[in-house]
Structure 1
Amino acid sequence: MFLKCRKVVWALLIGTVSAGTVTYSIPASVPTSATPLDVAPVGISFEFFTFPSYFLNVSATNQCLKNFETLTGVWPPIRIGGTTQDRATYDPSTSAYVVYSVAAPTDAPASLTFGQSFMSLASTYAGNVVLGLNRAHDNISNTIAAAKVATAKMSNLRAIELGNEPEYYLTDDQPIATESGTWTPAIDAASQDNWDILVGSALSKTNIIQAGNSNSAPPTWGAAELIATENDTVQSYVYDYAHHNYPGGTISSLMSHSDISSNLAIFNDDIAAAATTGKDYVLGETNSVSGGGASTVSPLFGAALWTLDYSVLASSLGIKRTYFHHGTIGACYYCFWGRYDMGAPYYGAYVATAFMAGAAAVVELDDGSTDYAAYVVFDGAGSPLRVLLVNSDYYSSGTRGSETFVLGGLGGAASVKSKRLTAASANSRVDQGGNPTFGGQTFANETCVIGGTETFESTAVSGGTGSFVVGASEALLVYLQ
């Protein structure tokens, strides 16, 4: 219903567009086409073999997650999985979290084992957890054994993934594909359907599988294609459908609002297909550039603006949760935090969380065709709560341009307050001294503790209308209540 009504909403909400100025009217109450929000739509994905180290050896992890919880009242959802989940074998006899050998600390293991303590550690997290297990090795008894431990130990278990990015199984010489000599979306779908039933029935649990988990752009390997193969029995075991996404590109193309809109539009049919089953659709693993990111893109402030705009637009399209992947510690350009330095993208995720926190629904005000994004969220009573404005014009040096967002429908207040997300340029990097700020505040390296004095800006409102200037490569969060 949302997708069918979206053009009507745009026609009602978009006003004049001219050089340097865009105009929108804030609805007085939530439109019927608004998209309901999850209580915590911004999540974190941890590469399987690195999960214990993130929680035991990286001091920033708990605080960075806690910062989100402070905003929303719930801990952000996490997913544990990735390429190494399909290299991992459950070993009930080991007391170690994970066992593997690598030539260098920044290498990912070609094979590994994990024990019950892995699930015990995951059980201590205060938020919901999606756990990825191995399907590629075609050892269903081993996977079921691990799943039984997970369901027994983890009261916070949201769902189990059965395999990661199966479209690569044949090229990766994974047994489940090589044993048959071929591997297609249809063969994979049959495998998934069978495993969903076998694992779900072994656990005596319905609504337990996060299905899909492919990376190739839909429709091939997508949820709609998978759902078409499922019967009612299979769907009874599915909790939600997931896809992966790494847009890539240059920093200017990555952060471009119109490019973000085009990228996310490829999921519309899958979102709609999931809705017909009554199940959620999520981005179970995503980030800027695949393979740990790119040094010229992923750690830059422009990637923070991408993270912000991408998270909110995904939510407005009906993607329930978005899990940003964190890979090998010490070799991860797109990571939000590490042992020593914060990553600029964390700021974008934090502002996205701040914008959607406590809100019941979200609407995109713009049509996705320009560099300028505008969103509004509504509270549970249906009143507008906050507005997010993003200027994704790429700024590197020289005179910084700006865009004026004229907002009507601001009510009878004499002024409204806002907080600005900014940095010296789109190319700023925290590890090179280029800290972003949100409302004048920063997150400390190593600890993720918020520092600095919180600073609000005030904008005059006359006749229910106010003008907000947002610089190139900046965003503004406007508080209406």
Structure 2
Amino acid sequence: MKIFSQCQFQPLPGSLLLLLLSGSLRVTAIPSTVNIEIPVPAKDALLRSLDRNLVSWSIQNRDLPMFTRSKLLENLFKALATNIGIGQSVRLGGGESDKTTYGSDITITADKYRSGYYGAQAQGNVTLGPNYFASFKEKYAPDTRYIWCLNLINTTNKFDAAISTAAGVLEYLGDELDLFEIGNEADFYGSKGFRDSEWDASMMLPEWNYIADEIQKNSPNKTVRFMAGGFANPAYIVTKDFDIPGIIAAGYQSSRIPWYSMHLYPQSGCSGAVTIAPLLEHNTLSDILSNYIPQVAAAESVGAQFAIGETNTVSCVGRPGISDTFAAALWLVDYVLFAATIGIRRVYFHATTTGSYSPVIPINYSLDSGNYSTGVLPLSYGAYFISEVLSFNDTLLIMQIEGGNDTDYSSYSVWDETNKLRKIVFINLQSHNSSTGGTNPATPDTEVYSSSGPRPSTRVTVATPWEPGQELSLIRLQAPGSNSKSQVNVSSFTFSEKDGSVTNNLVDTIITVKDNGNVEFDLLASEAVLVQHYSDVLSNKHPTKSGSKAADSTVNGVVMRTRGANMSISSVLVLDMKIMVSAILVSALLAFI
């Protein structure tokens, strides 16, 4: 049974198209040594704040119940929420949104929704009832919040499909609902025959406003807010006025629109050639995302925020050998951090129950005569690594490190509101392929290939404003190679392939700031590191294996500290106090003697 999803063709920027046509991965490589400096930013420097939901999720409305058939997504969400201190943001939307209607008298059971009742790709309308919400409510980490995308295509009975669905969503999700979207990828309606060929944002406005007004009238006890936009075409090939400056000019601006969004798939799996190469090209990524700077500016000009509302590596459910590889995890890290530096607040990664671009596969399934099992894909580890970047008790600000970005590598500095450097992220995007971890039982096998020669390593020296002798934690997002589909981890931290629970605790490598303020570390090709104050690690909650305990070890003279359930700043302070008291007693005794 073939699986299909949004089938869009998005022309690529010239630099990316040339890369694909050439078939060449790159002709440069990260040098064996990189020296960069991080000065304290000037007071007027443009640092962007990091949204705790920088990595967010987009899931087809019909698919979410099926994710409850295993604990994989629930436990992933719990791990991420533990680190960032708030629940996950989930957009329930996609191609099925414009096929969906709701009936309060629909008696389809919760179990039937979980069974995949609507199939891999619903044909015709998707009709939801009260048991749909019962099929997933309270199945995920605490405080999961939702965005619901409503049916704008169906105009029957004055848009009853959208308005009745909104009533059901508000009744059953209540305060768990953050926003509504009205219509999915409405810039395609004219070309697909859902509206007149002259269809533009001005023509859409009265329909959009009517639905929004009716929802608010039916919800007198709740201020209903919306995310406007949700257009398929990326910012570099906007059609008519279907982008954020265009719809704001057309009249889409009010206090009920705190968010705007557009979609982005850098490669199309619906048609044409796709390769792993663009995932490991920082310059290609930055070229694509820089097109969204005017979109961000437009949103901010009316006091709103901008998000990439649906995205992933390759459209049409991804592509095995690309979307399900470690390269996708590295790409996610570079993607969201660069996006944050230009003011994109959230990035919603699209997932389906069997798509190779999903973070987890929650069901056993068959595809093209092959049988596949549940499991965890590398994208989950990219998301987890970012949750470690975001873990902090107060506001964090981000900027690129000047001189620390090139084709094969990128770097970011993270600050607090007092202009103190808190974290450094360095990503080595140089390709290194390995036959180790080349398969994953959750996705189809693809060609396994290895790079010739030893895996390159780079010594990175960072001049920082940190005090000499300060103890730092270094953790790594790592795998055998960029093409690996398994054996991915974050400094030994892993998720269970069966249920997504923590199977191995994270191990911090302890390094210290040198006398001149420099921080030094080695970084393998296809690897990312996060360096931060070890005291910050202690002061934040982290997901750990049940019943685990913190432990120290020394490997080749390097101190390694395993995170454990009893690891907290309070216990460390108690320990320090005991040591201090003991020292005082010993000193007093010696003085007496």
TM-score band by shorter chain is: 0.7 to 0.9
Q: Which residue of 2 aligns with 1:467?
A: 520
Measured in 2, the distance between the counterparts of 1:370 and 1:99 equals 46
Q: Does 1:377 align with 2:414?
A: yes
**Equivalent position SS for 1:321:** strand
Measured in 2, the distance between the counterparts of 1:361 and 1:225 equals 29
Q: Which residue of 2 aligns with 1:356?
A: 390
1:408 pairs, out of 447, 463, 467, with 463
2:80 pairs, out of 61, 68, 85, with 68
Deviation at 1:407, TM superposition (A): 0.8
Measured in 2, the distance between the counterparts of 1:372 and 1:259 equals 12
Measured in 2, the distance between the counterparts of 1:442 and 1:75 equals 20
- Does the Cα contact within 8 Å between 1:214 and 1:242 map onto a contact in 2? yes
Aligned in 2, Cα 1:338/1:247: closer, same or farther, shift over 3 Å? same
Q: Which residue of 2 aligns with 1:343?
A: 377
Q: Which residue of 1 aligns with 2:485?
A: 429
Measured in 1, the distance between the counterparts of 2:115 and 2:127 equals 10
Q: Does 1:192 align with 2:208?
A: yes
**TM-score, normalization by structure 2:** 0.71
Per-residue CA deviation, residues 441-461 of structure 1 (Å, 9 max, x unaligned), is: 221102112222432224452
Q: Which residue of 2 aligns with 1:244?
A: 263
Q: Which residue of 2 aligns with 1:227?
A: 248
Deviation at 1:194, TM superposition (A): 4.7
Deviation at 1:18, TM superposition (A): 8.9
Q: Which residue of 2 aligns with 1:393?
A: 430
- Does the Cα contact within 8 Å between 2:326 and 2:484 map onto a contact in 1? yes
- Does the Cα contact within 8 Å between 2:201 and 2:250 map onto a contact in 1? no
Per-residue CA deviation, residues 8-48 of structure 1 (Å, 9 max, x unaligned), is: xxxxxxxxx99433333234468541101223221111111
Aligned in 2, Cα 1:30/1:298: closer, same or farther, shift over 3 Å? farther
Per-residue CA deviation, residues 347-383 of structure 1 (Å, 9 max, x unaligned), is: 1111112112224211121475432111122235442
- Does the Cα contact within 8 Å between 2:459 and 2:522 map onto a contact in 1? yes
1:57 pairs, out of 55, 69, 80, with 69
**Equivalent position SS for 1:58:** coil
- Does the Cα contact within 8 Å between 2:65 and 2:113 map onto a contact in 1? no
Counterpart AA for 1:237: R
- Does the Cα contact within 8 Å between 1:405 and 1:470 map onto a contact in 2? yes
Measured in 2, the distance between the counterparts of 1:78 and 1:428 equals 27
Q: Which residue of 1 aligns with 2:333?
A: 308
**Equivalent position SS for 2:530:** strand
Q: Which residue of 2 aligns with 1:138?
A: 155
- Does the Cα contact within 8 Å between 1:197 and 1:237 map onto a contact in 2? no
Measured in 2, the distance between the counterparts of 1:246 and 1:21 equals 33
Measured in 2, the distance between the counterparts of 1:264 and 1:242 equals 13
Rg: which structure is higher?
Answer: 2
Per-residue CA deviation, residues 322-366 of structure 1 (Å, 9 max, x unaligned), is: 111112x23x00000012110011111111121122242111214
Q: Which residue of 1 aligns with 2:54?
A: 41
Q: Does 1:89 align with 2:101?
A: yes
- Does the Cα contact within 8 Å between 2:258 and 2:303 map onto a contact in 1? no
Counterpart AA for 1:298: S
1:162 pairs, out of 172, 182, 200, with 182
> Any residues of structure 2 matched to 1:174-185 within 5 Å, and which?
174=194, 177=195, 180=196, 182-185=198-201
**Equivalent position SS for 1:57:** coil
Counterpart AA for 2:379: P
**TM-score, normalization by structure 1:** 0.87
Aligned in 2, Cα 1:22/1:200: closer, same or farther, shift over 3 Å? farther
Measured in 2, the distance between the counterparts of 1:26 and 1:324 equals 31
Q: How many residues align?
A: 452
Q: Which residue of 2 aligns with 1:319?
A: 344
Counterpart AA for 1:229: A
- Does the Cα contact within 8 Å between 1:222 and 1:270 map onto a contact in 2? yes
Deviation at 1:278, TM superposition (A): 0.6
- Does the Cα contact within 8 Å between 1:200 and 1:237 map onto a contact in 2? no
Per-residue CA deviation, residues 92-142 of structure 1 (Å, 9 max, x unaligned), is: 211335879999953444421001333455653522211111111124233
Q: Which residue of 2 aligns with 1:333?
A: 356
Per-residue CA deviation, residues 241-289 of structure 1 (Å, 9 max, x unaligned), is: 0111111242121232111111111111000000001111111111111
Counterpart AA for 2:522: V
Measured in 1, the distance between the counterparts of 2:89 and 2:258 equals 15
Deviation at 1:413, TM superposition (A): 3.3
Deviation at 1:184, TM superposition (A): 3.4
Q: Does 1:117 align with 2:172?
A: no
Measured in 2, the distance between the counterparts of 1:102 and 1:168 equals 27
Aligned in 2, Cα 1:298/1:108: closer, same or farther, shift over 3 Å? farther
Per-residue CA deviation, residues 41-100 of structure 1 (Å, 9 max, x unaligned), is: 21111111101111x213211101000011011111111111001111112211335879
Tell me the percent identity.
24
Aligned in 2, Cα 1:188/1:104: closer, same or farther, shift over 3 Å? closer
Q: Does 1:106 align with 2:106?
A: no
| 137-146 vs 332-341, which moves further | 137-146
Measured in 2, the distance between the counterparts of 1:216 and 1:57 equals 34
Measured in 2, the distance between the counterparts of 1:30 and 1:452 equals 41
Q: Does 1:455 align with 2:507?
A: yes
Measured in 1, the distance between the counterparts of 2:135 and 2:248 equals 33
Measured in 1, the distance between the counterparts of 2:468 and 2:511 equals 10
1:440 pairs, out of 474, 486, 492, with 492
Measured in 2, the distance between the counterparts of 1:448 and 1:23 equals 38
Q: Which residue of 1 aligns with 2:530?
A: 477
Counterpart AA for 2:65: P
- Does the Cα contact within 8 Å between 1:87 and 1:112 map onto a contact in 2? yes
| 399-408 vs 128-137, which moves further | 399-408
Counterpart AA for 1:209: F
Measured in 2, the distance between the counterparts of 1:453 and 1:67 equals 12
Measured in 1, the distance between the counterparts of 2:243 and 2:420 equals 36
Measured in 2, the distance between the counterparts of 1:19 and 1:99 equals 53
Q: Which residue of 2 aligns with 1:210?
A: 227
**Equivalent position SS for 1:213:** strand
| 266-275 vs 97-106, which moves further | 97-106
**Equivalent position SS for 1:451:** strand
* Unaligned runs of at least 5 residues, structure 2: 1-28, 268-273, 363-373, 434-450, 537-593
Q: Which residue of 2 aligns with 1:11?
A: none
Per-residue CA deviation, residues 261-318 of structure 1 (Å, 9 max, x unaligned), is: 1111111100000000111111111111111101121000000100111111112221
Measured in 2, the distance between the counterparts of 1:118 and 1:277 equals 36
Measured in 1, the distance between the counterparts of 2:291 and 2:164 equals 36
Q: Which residue of 1 aligns with 2:583?
A: none
Measured in 1, the distance between the counterparts of 2:418 and 2:517 equals 20
